[in-house]
Amino acid sequence: MAEVNKSKSNFIVAVGRRKEAVARIRLFKGTGEIIVNERPIDSYFPGATSKVRWQKPFLLTKSENSYSTTIKVSGSGKSGQLDAVIHGISRALSLADTNFRPILKKAGLLTRDPRVKERRKYGLAQKARKGKQSPKR
């Protein structure tokens, strides 16, 4: 789901997903401020490696301080949420400028990572493939 909003405030809406995480992105023309769940992105995803990862779509498209973003993310853990945010930002940027799409596509940022946790099967122990231990004698 990605669209351009035609109401009073002009912004681009996109959705990023990873595992159970869903990130709803609103991309505005602005100063480069990014808010995740009403907190600055640096406090929501702390650490240098996280910062490098969420900045990658902006660095590849050379639009670091061109867009402000508000993000609502839910589900999964912090790692899945970060991947969902990166996916959503990339989709929003590709809508903002059609020239960004090939750059982001080549970097693999527009591809949704389909790996999800395997469901538990009945008759097994706690996990998807772990069987119950049988007595030896």
pLDDT digits 0-9 by tens, 47-94? 999 999 999 999 999 998 999 999 999 999 999 999 999 999 999 999
The answer to whether residue 116 is domain-embedded is no
What is the residue range of 6's domain?
2-106
pLDDT classification of 137: cutoffs 50, 70, 90: confident
What three-state secondary structure class fits 123?
Answer: coil
The answer to whether residue 118 is domain-embedded is no
Into how many domains does the chain fold? 1
pTM above 0.85, yes or no: yes
Q: Are strands 67-74 and 34-36 parallel, antiparallel or unpaired?
A: parallel
The answer to whether residue 54 is domain-embedded is yes
> According to the model, what pLDDT value does residue 2 have?
64
The answer to whether residue 86 is domain-embedded is yes
Query: What mean pLDDT is predicted for residues 10-26?
Result: 96
Q: Is the pLDDT assigned to residue 105 strictly greater than 70?
A: yes
How many CB atoms are located within 10 Å of the residue 37 CB? Answer: 13
The answer to whether residue 39 is domain-embedded is yes
Q: Is the pLDDT assigned to residue 4 strictly greater than 80?
A: no
Tracing tokens 């949420």 back to the chain, one arrives at: 81
Q: How far is CA 112 from CA 17, 22, 35, 83, in A?
A: 7, 11, 22, 9
